[in-house]
Amino acid sequence: MDARNPLSIEQVMQLAVFTTEEAAIYLRLSRQTLEGLRVKGGGPRYAKLSRRVLYRRAALDEWLTANEQNHTAEGV
C-alpha cells in the first residue's frame, strides 16, 4: 500500500497477495499486532522476499479458520 495513494477496503479485498498493511486491513487488525504475531509466532504464514513481507490470501484465511472458536472456554 502506497501511503500517497492508499487502497480502499474494496480494492484490498480483491487482492491475492497482501503487504503487511493490506493484510492487517483484511484481518481487521492493526499493523503493529500483525507484526508482533510475525515476530513472536502464532500469526499467519508469510513470505519474505528481500525486505518485503507478503501474505497470501489463502494463508490469512487458513489462519482465521485455525483460530475459530465456538465459545470463550475453547482457547484456554
Q: What is the mean pLDDT of the chain?
A: 88
- Cα 11 from chain centre: 15
Instruction: Look at residue 2 and tell me if it is in a domain.
Output: no
Helix (H, G, I), strand (E, B) or coil at 21: helix
- The pTM is what? 0.77
| Contact partners, residue 50, CB within 8 Å, separation at least 6 | none
In single-letter form, the type of residue at position 58 comes to A
User: How many other C-beta atoms lie within 10 A of the C-beta of residue 40?
Assistant: 8
Instruction: Look at residue 3 and tell me if it is in a domain.
Output: no
Instruction: Look at residue 74 and tell me if it is in a domain.
Output: no
Instruction: Look at residue 52 and tell me if it is in a domain.
Output: yes
Residue 37 scores a pLDDT above 90: yes
Instruction: Look at residue 1 and tell me if it is in a domain.
Output: no
Instruction: Look at residue 73 and tell me if it is in a domain.
Output: no
Residue 34 scores a pLDDT above 70: yes
Q: Give the residue numbers spanning the domain of 30.
A: 9-68
Look at the chain and report how many structural domains it folds into.
1
Task: Round to whole Å and give the CA distance between 28 and 49.
Answer: 24
